[in-house]
Structure 1
Amino acid sequence: MADTELAEVADFLATHAPFDALPGPVRRALPARMTVRYHRRGAHLMAVGVDSHDLVIVRSGAIEIRDADGGLVDRGAEGATAGSTTLVGGNPSRFDVLAIEDTLALHLPGQVFHELSRAHPDFADHFDAERADRLRTAASSVATNAAGEAILRTSARELTHRELVTVPDDVTIADAARVMTDEGVSSLLVLRGGRVAGILTDRDLRRRVVAVGTDPAGPVTSVMTADPVVVAADASALELLLTMTERTIHHLPVVEGGRPIGVVTTTDLMRLERVNIVHVVGDVAKQRDVAGVVAVAARLPRLVEQLVAQDVSADDITRAVTTVGDAIERRLIALAEEALVAEGHGRAPRYCWMVLGSRARHEQALGGDQDHAVILADDAPEGAEDYIAALAERVVAGLEACGYPRCEGDVMASNPRWRQRLTGWRREFRQWIHEPVADAVLTASIFFDSRALVGDEALHSRLVEDVARWAPQGRMFLAHLVKQAVANEPPLGFFRGFVLARAGEHKDTLDLKRGGVGAIVDLARAHALATGLVSVNTRSRLLAAGRAGALDPMTAASLVDALEFISHVRLAHQSRQAAAGAHPDSRVRPSDLTAFERRSLREAFHVVREAQQALAYRTPGHYFT
């Protein structure tokens, strides 16, 4: 290339990452080490199975990258690059790179690429990020073990190793037991018309036949578990694991197209490496006193550390943390009820203990405080409030001992306001929605993310139905929610630099919760309640709002990815804090993040900002609340 052309190429590189971050002398020396090639539309710059030795930078035109199966990986125009995967991972190329327009490309030799990567970490990090497909790929990472096998994302279908053992629903108990013995299985499915009518397990035979002297000549339908929980064949191992632990069951029928294809047991799941949430939850359930629960709860940070190290998705990790938290809270409630009976307070009245906030959404991270309330049945006897008050005090103290701090806003069942009869709760929600006051709605927003944990779920369901019916008509209430959703701006400056705390304990840190995770949660809540959706999980709310047309589907998907990535960075930060003996928080120093994490966080925060602006534009009335 002539000197003039070399200067033009240097100027071009100065406007495109990652070359713009290289020292000036290094960047200006690069054009002389490159070659310029012209590729006609339809020409292959790289091909699957063919060795490639250059990094390709698009000077003008456009390229398309596809994998070995023809799947589209990426498209790029001016400044886009291709070939780093092969340069790092070795030949032959695993991708086809096709010119989709007449393209002028700069070819940087692999030797120069490696020199730059060794000398300039940010340069190498950029291509790490590119190979990870930025935010989207970071958000959909898959956990693998050393052998490259899927761990927590193994499907239910892959776990059904042996031929399905079944009996029709007209056989006797003795016949079913004989089949189980002959086949060497601990359970079998009872079918009616080719579909699952029930499941019979060893435990059923012990408890419902042997222990009570049931006649083995009786029908199997009299002792089976009818209409058992089933899972889809494509469900992940983690989904199965959480379903089993949440419902305290040990066998899950797997169905495809409504027809059974196998049964997965807890033993099958425990064969997967490092899946130890089942042990933690199981051990919690075995504890006979609060001290025992506290000891098991102390294992949670280590569990999160393992899951983060395995690259399990943040969505799956927070579900796991939530499941452990649920198990702890359920056990503490059971122990409290037992203690109250022993002290002469009698049996519990009809009530529902509901969890709120991140726990209700299945999104709990480390360091979360307590958020819960109680719905008491309208027909509960006089004095039931005193029982619930005593129960709540015991549970709150137990949770605090297990590492869940008391809520600073006192949103706990120990507060008399947050343990009411159903009629009182309906009155509260009706007032929040139909007679909203800004401060009250801000305080109450956590109650719109609730889930029944223990007790009569019908009491909670009645509230959920009311909210879904009332909320879309609460115009001023929705305006307050929108105002709240756009108020927590992402910590991003005018030029997409981070906005850091300027003073105090958290000086020079970035808040991943307030303008990140929290902002996305607020956006999802506003869209969901406006549409009358009943789901409280943020991911589910966003995608459902997209399907309902309340939110642009592409925006919904981008927010899901942003939530996943921000949450993953937050969890990794919290697991490091816990390992160091510090209390987990959501404040990180940008200097502690990799260049890839910093770039991806900027992308995620930008997605949040654009979604907030779109919501504010569509709902201008929030400015007048």
Structure 2
Amino acid sequence: MSLLEQKAFLSSIHPFESLSATQLDTFAENMDIVYFKENEIIQKQGKNPESLFFILKGLVQEKQEEEVLSIYSKNEIFDSISLIENYSKNTFITTEETICYSLPRSIFIKTLHENIDLETYFFQSISEKLNNNIHHEKNKEMANIMIAKVKDATIHKAVIIDENKSIYEAATIIKKEKVPTILLKDNNNEMFIITDSDFRQKVILNRMDFDDKVIKIATKGLIYVNEDDFLFNAQLIMAKHGLKRVVVKNDKDTIVGILDQISLSSFFATNTFSVSNKIQKAETVEELKEASLSFIKIIRSLNAKGVKIEFIARLVNQLNKRLLDKLYKLLAPEELYTKSCLIVMGSEGRGEQILKTDQDNALIIEDDCTISNEDLQKFTHDFTETLVDFGFPRCEGNIMVSNPYWCRKESDFKNLIYQWVNEPSGDNFMNIAIFYDAVCVSGSIDLVIKLKEYLFKVAGNSQTFNAHFAKVISSFNVPLGFFDGFIFNSKDEKKKNEIDIKKGGIFIIVQGIRSLSLEHKLLNTSTAKRIAKLTEINVLDPELAKELTMAFNFLTNLKLKSNLDKLDKKIAIDNYINPDNLNTMEKDLLKDSFKIVSKLKKKLEFHFKLNYV
């Protein structure tokens, strides 16, 4: 590689993009290319390391005796920690022919103390490292917005009429086709455009005859863009010409649609506003379904732009709530709607279900509601089946309004809650956990609040109940070994090199925080808000709370990215990730996150005295 290529290579590896021009020159001038054969030891345990290695090609294993702790591949570095401590805790050995850049330890250490960003990265706390990674990913992925194509945005279909159409006929077509704009082609094949504002400003204000030809209000001189043009360029063209819309063509010079300013702005605002409007304006189930199909696109867009996982969850959760509220209003008999509360539970209730995994919903009905069983069963069946059609799979545990167990009168729910608390079992504790996460998405919120307050009353201040409720976390092990190596224990041969990130990390945080929140009778539902409230009332130490929030967000984001990748490959989404698919920084952060989970688990075991339960 030339010096220029070396510098570009270094700048592409986090956190070395923070090197100054002089430091970058120093690195490039002092790097050597080194070659290693398969199964060759690069750095031995117990030795003083001499170089920082940047892998250009090949694979390197970090091993503690015979246990493989990590694998490093192209564009990754190793081992900065050994260099800082001047002692190699582990052995680094190639698994195939490997080519690296080697940088002398003296240059690395000297630059480390000269560059505050570099020093901060390698010496920062776990929570700071997790947080800085989020900011780094956001900055890195923001570049995606610059390469988005016109076809990635919402393009209204092109409806083309002839010049003989009347104003009335054209207005009728706009309404029927549900488009804000139509195109007109005259006898000379010249194209014109007519917008909904033309009807307001030119027809109504000028009191034109509705039977006049619509070409009288049409505008010519259209501006075109190609569907493969950069969306950012389309925005510049609109700004340059003072336009609110441009006509989109494909490579065959065929008109494929119209891109307007609202669609363009909605894309850069992640489409959330436009989809929310679609939900609000939907008058039929089919229109609502069309809006729901945009959710995955929104999630991809938000994630690609580096938006923090907690904001993605919040936005998607709000859209889900609006969708369910609208569907309930469309399908529910009036008496039921005015005397009930539709709730979502579990991860959706906590606002932490981003992709459509399954349905977790229930219906609380006021005691004086007189809807017949026949009408109620028809509604609950239709509601569940419609959600399935929208892409919300059935809950494997049958926790849905179509199951009479989760659709009952308020007094019946009280009896159920009393039973859950006073007849301890795995299923009953699970039901308490699911219900405790419930939020109202439609109807009377007072119904679910009163039932939660009843749960607090029935559970009382029983240490035995609280301990048994928290006990389930003891059944889940953090997949991190004594020497910081990942532990793989899947019985599925296809997942033998993968980790269940939910069981090993996310669930322990969720259930642990949920147990502390229930003990202190908090009405908050999201894990983040529960952590904040527990910190406020001095149940959690502020530093641990900060670490838990960062670890939870990192693990959730890792799971989302993995599942979006699986959707692209048409693979069923799950909770498994393969650490080999992560870069060095992500592996380190995953280990750091698991250490935080272990810290919480030990705190809970002591707090609830789980060893005695």
TM-score range, shorter chain: 0.5 to 0.7
Equivalent AA in structure 2 for residue 602 of structure 1: K
Does the Cα contact within 8 Å between 1:491 and 1:605 map onto a contact in 2?
A: yes
TM-aligned CA deviation for residue 434 of structure 1: 4.2
- Give the match for residue 405 of structure 1: 393
Choose from 82, 85, 100 the match for 2:112: 82
Question: Residues 116-515 of structure 1: matches in 2 within 5 Å?
Answer: 133-139=128-134, 143=138, 270=265, 273-337=268-332, 348=337, 350-381=339-370, 383-500=371-488, 501-515=490-504
TM-aligned CA deviation for residue 275 of structure 1: 2.7
Bigger mean CA offset, 553-562 vs 438-447:
438-447
- Give the match for residue 552 of structure 1: 541
- 1:17 aligned counterpart, secondary structure: helix
- 1:322 aligned counterpart, secondary structure: helix
| Alpha-carbon distance change, 516 to 275 in structure 1, aligned in 2, over 3 angstroms | same
| Alpha-carbon distance change, 507 to 10 in structure 1, aligned in 2, over 3 angstroms | closer
**CA distances 1:36-79 after superposition (whole Å, capped 9, x unpaired):** xxxxxxxxxxxxxxxxxx5326xxxxxxxxxxxxxxxxxxxxxx
**CA distances 1:286-343 after superposition (whole Å, capped 9, x unpaired):** 3333333333322222211111111111111112222222222222212212xx57xx
TM-aligned CA deviation for residue 445 of structure 1: 1.6
Take 1:146 and 1:485, find their aligned partners in 2: how far apart are those partners?
Answer: 35
- 2:109 aligned counterpart, secondary structure: strand
**CA distances 1:159-182 after superposition (whole Å, capped 9, x unpaired):** xxxxxxxxxxxxxxxxxxxxxxxx
Equivalent AA in structure 1 for residue 555 of structure 2: I
- 1:412 aligned counterpart, secondary structure: coil
- 1:321 aligned counterpart, secondary structure: helix
Take 1:556 and 1:576, find their aligned partners in 2: how far apart are those partners?
Answer: 30
- 2:316 aligned counterpart, secondary structure: helix
- Give the match for residue 584 of structure 2: 595
Take 1:55 and 1:286, find their aligned partners in 2: how far apart are those partners?
Answer: 59
Choose from 556, 559, 564 the match for 1:570: 559
- 1:528 aligned counterpart, secondary structure: helix
| Alpha-carbon distance change, 140 to 428 in structure 1, aligned in 2, over 3 angstroms | farther
- Structure 1 residue runs of 4 or more that deviate by more than 6 Å after TM superposition: 24-27, 126-132, 145-151, 266-269
**CA distances 1:238-260 after superposition (whole Å, capped 9, x unpaired):** xxxxxxxxxxxxxxxxxxxxxxx
| Alpha-carbon distance change, 600 to 144 in structure 1, aligned in 2, over 3 angstroms | closer
TM-aligned CA deviation for residue 546 of structure 1: 2.2
TM-aligned CA deviation for residue 402 of structure 1: 1.3
Does the Cα contact within 8 Å between 2:127 and 2:550 map onto a contact in 1?
A: no
- 2:369 aligned counterpart, secondary structure: coil
TM-aligned CA deviation for residue 408 of structure 1: 0.5
Choose from 95, 105, 109 the match for 1:56: 109
- Give the match for residue 81 of structure 2: 17
Does the Cα contact within 8 Å between 1:284 and 1:331 map onto a contact in 2?
A: yes
Choose from 522, 538, 558 the match for 1:533: 522
Equivalent AA in structure 1 for residue 48 of structure 2: D
Equivalent AA in structure 2 for residue 466 of structure 1: Y
| Alpha-carbon distance change, 388 to 569 in structure 1, aligned in 2, over 3 angstroms | same
Bigger mean CA offset, 441-450 vs 310-319:
441-450
| Alpha-carbon distance change, 13 to 374 in structure 1, aligned in 2, over 3 angstroms | farther
**CA distances 1:95-119 after superposition (whole Å, capped 9, x unpaired):** 6979xxxxxxxxxxxxxxxxxxxxx
Equivalent AA in structure 2 for residue 491 of structure 1: P
| Alpha-carbon distance change, 608 to 34 in structure 1, aligned in 2, over 3 angstroms | closer
**CA distances 1:268-291 after superposition (whole Å, capped 9, x unpaired):** 995782331121222233333333
| Alpha-carbon distance change, 472 to 611 in structure 1, aligned in 2, over 3 angstroms | farther
Does the Cα contact within 8 Å between 1:373 and 1:419 map onto a contact in 2?
A: yes
| Alpha-carbon distance change, 270 to 8 in structure 1, aligned in 2, over 3 angstroms | closer
Does the Cα contact within 8 Å between 2:463 and 2:608 map onto a contact in 1?
A: no
| Alpha-carbon distance change, 587 to 417 in structure 1, aligned in 2, over 3 angstroms | same
| Alpha-carbon distance change, 268 to 554 in structure 1, aligned in 2, over 3 angstroms | farther
- 1:467 aligned counterpart, secondary structure: helix
- TM normalised by structure 1 equals 0.60
Count, aligned residues: 420
TM-aligned CA deviation for residue 451 of structure 1: 0.2
Equivalent AA in structure 2 for residue 552 of structure 1: D
TM-aligned CA deviation for residue 347 of structure 1: 6.2
| Alpha-carbon distance change, 143 to 388 in structure 1, aligned in 2, over 3 angstroms | farther
Equivalent AA in structure 1 for residue 469 of structure 2: L
**CA distances 1:518-555 after superposition (whole Å, capped 9, x unpaired):** 22110110010111111011011112112222233322
Take 2:568 and 2:123, find their aligned partners in 1: how far apart are those partners?
Answer: 27
- Note the aligned Cα RMSD (angstroms): 4.0
Does the Cα contact within 8 Å between 1:531 and 1:550 map onto a contact in 2?
A: no
Take 2:145 and 2:128, find their aligned partners in 1: how far apart are those partners?
Answer: 20
TM-aligned CA deviation for residue 588 of structure 1: 1.4
**CA distances 1:362-410 after superposition (whole Å, capped 9, x unpaired):** 11121420001111111212x4544333222111111111111111111
| Structure 1 residues not aligned, in runs of 5+ | 1-6, 36-53, 58-80, 87-92, 99-125, 152-265
| Alpha-carbon distance change, 310 to 472 in structure 1, aligned in 2, over 3 angstroms | farther
Take 1:347 and 1:467, find their aligned partners in 2: how far apart are those partners?
Answer: 24
| Alpha-carbon distance change, 308 to 147 in structure 1, aligned in 2, over 3 angstroms | closer
- 2:278 aligned counterpart, secondary structure: helix
Take 1:623 and 1:379, find their aligned partners in 2: how far apart are those partners?
Answer: 47
| Alpha-carbon distance change, 600 to 475 in structure 1, aligned in 2, over 3 angstroms | same
| Structure 2 residues not aligned, in runs of 5+ | 1-43, 52-78, 147-260
TM-aligned CA deviation for residue 453 of structure 1: 0.7
Take 1:608 and 1:96, find their aligned partners in 2: how far apart are those partners?
Answer: 27
Is 1:561 the counterpart of 2:550 in the alignment? Answer: yes
| Alpha-carbon distance change, 23 to 441 in structure 1, aligned in 2, over 3 angstroms | closer
Take 2:48 and 2:118, find their aligned partners in 1: how far apart are those partners?
Answer: 29
| Alpha-carbon distance change, 423 to 10 in structure 1, aligned in 2, over 3 angstroms | same
Does the Cα contact within 8 Å between 1:441 and 1:477 map onto a contact in 2?
A: no
Equivalent AA in structure 2 for residue 134 of structure 1: K
Equivalent AA in structure 2 for residue 56 of structure 1: I
Take 1:8 and 1:398, find their aligned partners in 2: how far apart are those partners?
Answer: 60
Does the Cα contact within 8 Å between 1:305 and 1:576 map onto a contact in 2?
A: no
Equivalent AA in structure 2 for residue 496 of structure 1: D
| Alpha-carbon distance change, 148 to 133 in structure 1, aligned in 2, over 3 angstroms | farther
| Alpha-carbon distance change, 306 to 460 in structure 1, aligned in 2, over 3 angstroms | same
Equivalent AA in structure 2 for residue 430 of structure 1: Y
Take 2:353 and 2:123, find their aligned partners in 1: how far apart are those partners?
Answer: 29
Does the Cα contact within 8 Å between 1:524 and 1:542 map onto a contact in 2?
A: yes
Equivalent AA in structure 2 for residue 82 of structure 1: L
Equivalent AA in structure 2 for residue 549 of structure 1: N
- Give the match for residue 184 of structure 2: none
Take 1:579 and 1:24, find their aligned partners in 2: how far apart are those partners?
Answer: 34
Does the Cα contact within 8 Å between 2:362 and 2:399 map onto a contact in 1?
A: yes
Take 2:123 and 2:558, find their aligned partners in 1: how far apart are those partners?
Answer: 16
Take 1:602 and 1:301, find their aligned partners in 2: how far apart are those partners?
Answer: 29
Take 1:516 and 1:145, find their aligned partners in 2: how far apart are those partners?
Answer: 26
- 2:81 aligned counterpart, secondary structure: coil
